[in-house]
Chain A
Amino acid sequence: MSPSLAPADVGRRVGRDVQRALRRGRNGLRYAAGTRPTEVGQTPKDLIWRRHRTELWRYRNDDVRHGPPVVIVHSLVSRSYVLDLYPGNSAIAFLLGSGLDVFLLDWGIADEADSGNTLETYVDEGIPDAVAAACEAAGSDEVTLFGYCFGGVLSLLSAARHPELPIRNLVLMATPVDFTGMDAITALVARGRLNPDEILEPTGNVPAKAVASVFKLLKPTAEISQYATLWEKLPSDAFMQGYQAMGQWASDHVPFPGAAFRQTIEQLVRRNGLMHGTVELGGERVDLGAITCPVLNIMAERDHIVPLAAAEPVVELVGSEQADELRLNAGHVGLVAGSSAAKVTLPGIAGWIADHSVPA
């Protein structure tokens, strides 16, 4: 149908286009000047426990309906505010709204003093101490441990090495266990092209920019597509808020502590130790079969960072009688952020946790 040429209709269309152009110009200027960055991580929280750079936060919630508390373990290579981007786009806020008592274990930004941190630092010290602190703060005997990405690997290792930990449920989201399925990320180090030490900077850590570059290489044209989307949606204030927050997070990686990186490459990547049961921490073999609590393995079908093939075997490796899978139509970040997270992924996750909890 051709558009109406009645003067009133033409006037309305011109007015709408002018408004759109003005909003595009205004948002474009704001974006270029960086005058209105989106404020991230706004959900009110309290610091419960701290050790060196590691902090455990408890998010305020007056309407806790399910127990035990959920302790989220974040990754070592990215900032945890992806879980709490801004009001209306916050996985944390969604879980709080679902009646859960939410804690977040944030590892901070590693510097030279952290370069000696090994996997044991996180698995044997950080997570067990944080679980104890969360139990004490919530007055609970147990927790639901929830690991995201590499935080999931740390949670798996910690639960396996410490069967005495009071873990009622273990939730793993986008957690790689079969590192042959991570070839796109590990190609440089997996087959000995580079030794881990060649990637470390003088601080002894993997520099944040190297971490960012690896992620960019997975989808080299993504940045151009994002600029096209930015131009298309520039007039939308809501889009700009999300775009700026995600853009900030995507370029805000953190250094990976060198000692833990060496272990990760040698044990998890080169020997694929989680699959073959050869991971050794503190001189002892780690047996994932020692995990017997209910496990939920959440995977994203369009995850280009941790593909399905890398995350799928979790349920076969743990010793739990109840090991469930949740496959979601999302990407790696889309599991926790964006409009599809609130509609598709988070309700499924919160529902499983609630079903495996008790009334608070």
Chain B
Amino acid sequence: MADKPIWRQAFDAVDRRVAGPVEAGARSDVFSDLIALNLRVARRTQREIERRTRRALHLANLPTATDVRRLSEQVAALQRDLRELEDEQRR
């Protein structure tokens, strides 16, 4: 403690007082409810934005996030099929 500079000792003193209540707040039911709500709202907003921009992007012949996602799902499905084949061959 004595080796620490004065500014650090002051910082640690404040941190000790603040950290506990902040951690308790982050673990409270209210905070968890807020995070859950925030996640749901963000998801809904993202879906809505995607829905609204999809038409415009398709009119311009441009791929949308949904198109890319579908392609990516197809690639993943192919990859899984390949893995199954690999596993069968190994057996």
Q: Are A228 and B43 in contact (CB under 8 A)?
A: no
Q: What residues of chain B have their CB less than 8 Å away from a CB belonging to chain A?
A: 4-5, 8, 11, 15, 18-19, 22-23, 26-27, 29, 32-33, 35-36, 39-40, 43, 69, 72-73, 75-76, 79-80, 83, 86
B15 and A111: CB pair below 8 A? no
Cβ B23 vs Cβ A219 within 8 A: yes
Q: Bound state CA distance, A116 and B76, in angstroms? A: 10
Stretch at the interface among A183-191, A247-255, A318-326: A183-191
Given A112-B75, A198-B40, A228-B8, are A220 and B80 neighbors across the interface (CB < 8 Å)?
no
What range describes how many residues of A lie at the interface? 20 to 34
Does A35 reach chain B (CB closer than 8 Å)?
Answer: no
Pick the contact of A113: B35, B43, B79 (CB < 8 A). B79
Please pick, from A112, A188, A232, the residue contacting B73 in the complex, using a CB distance under 8 A: A112
**Closest beta carbon of chain B to A51's beta carbon, Å:** 8
Give Cα A202–Cα B71 distance, bound, in whole angstroms. Answer: 12
Question: Interface 1/0s, chain A 34-56, versus B by CB < 8 A?
Answer: 00000000000000000010000
Complex Cα spacing A304 to B73, Å: 37
- The prevalent SS among residues of B at the interface is helix
From A183, A198, A203, A225, B15 is in contact (CB under 8 Å) with A225
Task: Known contacts A188-B36, A194-B39, A198-B43; decide if A221 and B72 are in contact (CB<8 Å).
Answer: no
Contact at A202–B69, with CB atoms within 8 Å? yes
A198 to B83, CA, bound (A): 28
A184: chain B residues at CB < 8 Å are 27
B19 (CB) vs chain A CBs: closest residue: A221
Give complex CA distance A194, B36 in Å: 6
- Asked if A232 and B75 make an inter-chain contact with CB atoms under 8 angstroms apart, the answer reads no
Quick one: which of A303-356 are within 8 Å of B by CB? none
Check A12 for interface membership: any CB of B closer than 8 A.
no
A112 and B72 in contact (CB under 8 A), knowing A219-B23, A228-B11, A232-B8?
yes
